Amino acid sequence: EAQVTQNPRYLITVTGKKLTVTCSQNMNHEYMSWYRQDPGLGLRQIYYSMNVEVTDKGDVPEGYKVSRKEKRNFPLILESPSPNQTSLYFCASGGVGTPTGEQFFGPGTRLTVL
Amino acid sequence: LAKTTQPISMDSYEGQEVNITCSHNNIATNDYITWYQQFPSQGPRFIIQGYKTKVTNEVASLFIPADRKSSTLSLPRVSLSDTAVYYCLVGDIRGFQKLVFGTGTRLLVSP
């Protein structure tokens, strides 16, 4: 089954404790992206990657890191999480050049930073 | 990237047709218009996409006037399960760079 998976789905942590949220897709997509969603602010893009070893900042990259060493994986790293990074995070992927440019989203990771 | 403007919320009743309009005055020649649907605590899901005139699939229709400065997503005979947030995106489908979702339109369908 074609899908985007994220782990963990739920995470409660404390300020300053480094964490990684994993994202993996099995559709051989070139494009992958991370979004955060907060009440009243909609979905905001954090980082995106157009292919392996190619990453770029989205609209809210501060406090986050990403890497794209393999085509299927795009982990989101919070080196020193802070309470303002409490949010619902979504990973997405898409096939560059596909007719519709459709993005496929993961199930989300709800992060709470105390 | 063309900025979009949508109503914050809309209310409807089961069985009615719902039309959600999106304004995108600065749409570029290479931009397509794409709509996504999002249920609470789930990731957005692609609904429909178009470039001009009308596009229809099993879920919705998309109407785009000749000047392409706006578009209308039409949901025929909505049901309670259509209660969701609907996002209009405008961008060049040849790439995904910095796609902006915005805050979307929250549709509430009542019995």
Cβ distance B100 to A88 less than 8 Å, yes or no, reads no
CA B92 to chain centre: 16
Are the beta carbons of A44 and A89 closer than 8 angstroms? no
Q: What are the tens digits of pLDDT across the range A75-105?
A: 999 999 999 999 999 999 998 877 777 899 9
- CB spacing of A45 vs B103 below 8 angstroms: no
Q: Over the Cα atoms of chain B, what is R_g?
A: 13
- Whether A96 sits inside 8 A of B32 (CB atoms) is no
Q: DSSP readout, A43-97?
A: EEEEEEEEETTEEEE-S--TT-EE--SSSSB--EEESS--GGG-EEEEEEEE-TT
Q: Which two tokens stand for residue B45?
A: 């899901």
Give A-chain residues touching B96 at CB under 8 angstroms. 31, 33, 48, 50, 94, 96, 101, 103
Phi-psi region of B82 (alpha: psi -120 to 50; beta: other; left: phi over 0): alpha
* pLDDT tens per residue, range A18-57: 999 999 999 999 999 999 999 888 889 999 999 999 999 9
